[in-house]
Amino acid sequence: MTIGIPRALLYYKNEKLWTKFFDELGINYIISPETNKEIIENGSKYAIDETCLPIKIFLGHIDYLKDKCDCIFIPRIESDQDRETCLNFRAQYDLVKNTFRNYNLKILFYNDSGHKPQKESKAYKKLCKFLHIKKSLGKYAYYIAKQTQMYYEFFRSENQEKVLKDTKKIKVLLLAHAYNIGDKYVGEPIVNMLEKLNVQPIIAEYFDRKKCIKASKAVSKTLPWSYNQHLLGALELYKDVVDGVILITTYPCGPDSMCDEMIVRQYKDVPIITLTIDAQDATAGIETRLESFVDILNFKRNGKK
Amino acid sequence: MNNEIIACFPQWGSYYCAFRFLFENGFGVKYMTPPPITKNTIELGSKHSPDYVCVPFKYCLGCHIEALEKGANCLMQIYGGCRLNYYGELEEKILKDLGYNFKFFNMAEINFKSPKSILQNLKIVNPNVSIVKIAKALPATIGIIKTIDRMEDFIRQNAGFEQNENEMEDIFSEFKQKLDSTTGYKEYKKLKKEYLKKLANVKINKPKNPIRVGLVGDYYTVQEPFSNYNMEKELEKMGIEVHREMNLTNTIIKSKYKSSRKIGKKYVKFNIGATANYTVAEALKYAKNGLDGIIQVKSFGCTPELNAQTVLQNISKDYKIPILHFSFDSQTSETGIKTRLEAFYDMLSAKKK
C-alpha cells in the first residue's frame, strides 16, 4: 500500500510527525512535489472562484496524487489547545470527498477534535486500529514521531534565536502561516527577495509555540484561531528586536482578514507592510514594495545612529 | 445626565422586538431599536472595516456607528462558529479608535462554564442587574422569537398569493409595533393569539401547485432582508412560495443541529463549521420534498458556506434540482441580482410546464 501525502496546508505543521510515523510502521508513502504553476492551475479548476489560495493549492496537490497512490492522507484537525483552527481544516475531508466524487478516492484520515489534552494520541490510536496495526506498535511509532517533531521544532526555534542575536543585518519579521511561508510558490520568493536585499528574514512560525500563545493573550483575549495566536504572540515578543514586520496573507484568507487589521491597529509604532498574494504571479510589484520598505528601514536605522 | 444606559444590538431581521423586550424588562435598561439599514450604513461600515472581511461585519459596524451617533452607549455582539467569534473584539477596537465612548458587551468573552464570569459580563450592561428579573423575562422573549419566526414562515409561503397586496406585511408590522409596549408574558400571549388569527384570515388564492423555492445561506445574509437585497420580497412578488428554515428558533432555541448532521450524512461526514451543516441538510430536505429550486445566498468569502457550496453542487446533480448561488459584497449591483432572479424564475416556470 502506498499513501500519498499532499505537500500543502497541515503538512507544513506536522511534516516530521507524519513522515516519521509512517517510517516507523514501514508503510510506503509518497509526498507530492513542491508547488508549481501547473499544480495551482489544476487546483483552481476544481475550486470555487472565491476560495482562498492555500485551498486551491491543496486541491492541486490532491489532483497530482489522485492516480499515483492507493489512498490519500488527509487528517482533520479541528482544534489546537483551547482554540480552533481555520474552518477549512475542519472541512478538508468533506471538501475533497465532494470535489473528487467521480474519481472514487480513498482517503486515510485521523480526526483530531475536542479540547482534551490527549486528543491527538487518541486520534492516532484510532488510525492504527483502522490500519490493522498492533496497538503497542502504533503507540510506539506515534511517540517516536511526536518526539521527532518536537525536537525538530525545538532546534528550529533555537537556531532562529541564535541568528536573531548574532546577525548585524536588518531583521524583518515575517508573519505568515506555516503553509504560506513554507510553500515554494507563496512564501519562498519573498524570503529569497529579502535575502537578495541583504536582509535577515525572521520567520514568526519558527518561534516556540507555547511561549508565543501565552504572550498573545495579553494582546487579544478572544482571538479564536490558535495559528493566528502563534503569530500574534511572536510579534508581541520580538517587536523590539526586529526592524520591521511583513504580514503575508493569501487572498481571501478569513482569519487573517481580521487578525491583520487588529495587528495594524495595535502596533502603530512598528513599521508594518501587508503583502496579499493571489493566484496571479506577478513578482515585480512585490519586489518594488519590498525594496522601498527595506530602504525605509535602512534610513531609520542609520538615522538612529 | 448621561447615567441612563441605552443598549443596542445590530439590526437583524425582526428580532429587535425580542431584544427590546429582554433588555427593558430583564436587564432594566433602555433599548434603542437600531436605525434601519440603508446604503449609508454599509458605506460607513466598509469605510472603517478591513478590506475582505465578510459583509456581515461591515453591516454590524455601520449599524453600531449609526447607533452611537444617535445616542446609544452600550453595544453588544454575539459569537458563533466562524469569524463571528472575533467580531466583538475587533469592532470594539475600531470604534474606540474612532473616538467613541461606550460600553461593550462581548459574548465571546464569557466563559459559560463559570457562573462568576457570566455574572461579571452581564454586569457590563447594567451594574445592578438582577438575574431573577432576566429569568422572568426569558420565557416571553423566547416566545416572541418563536412567534416572529412562525409568522414570517407563514408570510413567506403565502404572501405571494394574497388578494390585497401587502395585507400580511401590514398585519405583521402592526404586531411588531404593538409588541413595543408589551411588558408581560400574558399581554404577549393575547397579542399573539389575536394576530395569528388575523394572519390566517387573510384571503389568498393559491394555485394548487405553485412554484416553490427554498432559501439557504449563511446566518446573517439569509436572515437580514437588506443584506440579501430583499430577495424574499422579490420572490413573493413573482408569485413564488418561499421556504426558509434558517432562523433563531431552528438553530438556537430548538437546535436542529443533530438531525441536520444525520440528514446530511451521505454527503458530509464531519462538522464542517458554523451553518454549513444546516445548509446542506436544508438543501437536501428541499430536494427530497420536491421543491422546484434552491437559492443559496452568502457573503463573499464566507468559508463554511463555500465548503457547503461544493456539496450543494453535488446535490443539484443527484436530485436534478437547480441551485442559484449568490455571493454578496458591499458593492453588489441590485439590477444584476434582479436580472438573475428573473431568469431563474423563467427557467423554473418553463420547467414546471
Helix/strand number for chain B, H first, E second: 15, 8
Helices (H), chain A: 11-25, 37-46, 53-65, 87-99, 119-130, 135-166, 178-181, 188-196, 209-219, 226-238, 254-266, 283-304
From B79, B105, B129, give the residue that closes a domain.
B129
Give the other-Cβ count within 10 Å of B224's Cβ: 19
Taking residue B183's Cβ as centre, other Cβ atoms within 10 Å add up to 12
Q: What is the ipTM of this complex?
A: 0.90
Task: Report the largest interatomic distance among the alpha carbons of chain B, rounded to a whole angstrom.
Answer: 67
CB-based contact A56:A279 (threshold 8 Å): yes
Q: Which of B239, B223, B200 is nearest to B297 (CA)?
A: B223
Largest CA distance in chain A: 66
Residue among B21, B7, B3 nearest B70 (CA) = B7
Asked if B181 and B95 sit in the same domain, the reply is no
For B4-23, the pLDDT digits (tens) are 888 888 888 888 888 888 88
Distance CA B310, CA A55 (A): 13
Q: Are B145 and B253 in contact (CB under 8 A)?
A: yes
Which of these three, B206, B228, B251, is where a domain ends?
A: B206
Domain boundary residue among B129, B160, B175? B129
CATH of the structural domain A167-304, one choice from 1.20.910.10, 3.40.50.300, 3.40.50.2300, 3.40.50.11900: 3.40.50.11900
In-domain check, residue B202: yes
Going from N- to C-terminal start, the domains of chain A cover 2-148, 167-304
- The model's pLDDT over A76-107, given as tens digits with 9 standing for 90+, comes to 888 887 788 888 888 889 999 999 988 888 99
CB A71 within 8 A of CB A108: yes
Closest partner CB to A257 (pick from B52, B268, B271) = B52
**3-class DSSP assignment, residue A84:** strand
Could you give the count of Cα atoms lying within 13 Å of B254 in the half-sphere of its Cβ?
8
Of A91, A258, A260, the CB nearest to B272: A91
pLDDT of residue A231: 93
Q: Could you tell me which residue, A252 or A160, shows the higher pLDDT? A: A160
Nearest residue on chain A to B276, judged by CA atoms? A91
Taking a C-beta distance cutoff of 8 angstroms, is the pair B95, B87 a contact?
no
Q: Which of B88, B276, B301 has its CB closest to that of A252?
A: B301
Read off the pTM: 0.92
Q: What top-level class would CATH report for the domain A2-148?
A: alpha beta
Beta carbons of A262 and B267 less than 8 Å apart: no
pLDDT digits (tens, 9 = 90+) for B198-242: 888 888 888 888 999 999 988 888 888 888 888 888 898 888 999
Q: For residue B60, what are the CA distances in angstroms to A189, A219, B73, B132, B224?
A: 38, 23, 15, 30, 11
In a domain, B243, yes or no: yes
The candidate with the shortest Cα–Cα distance to A207, out of A239, A250, A253, is A239
- Domain total for chain B? 3
Based on the domain organization, do B139 and B121 belong to the same domain? no
Q: Domain containing B122 — which CATH number? A: 3.40.50
> Do the chains contact at A262 and B327, CB–CB below 8 Å?
no
Q: How far, in Å, CA of B101 to CA of B96, rounded?
A: 7
Report pLDDT digits (tens) over A197-254.
999 999 999 999 899 999 999 988 888 898 999 999 999 999 998 999 999 998 888 8
As given in the structure block, the three cell numbers for residue B347 are 427557467
How remote is the C-alpha of A291 from its chain's centroid? 25
- B307/A87 Cβ within 8 A: yes
Please check whether residue B184 lies inside any domain of the structure: yes
CB atoms B109 and A101 under 8 Å: no
Domain that holds residue B201: 131-206
CA distance B299 to A226: 24
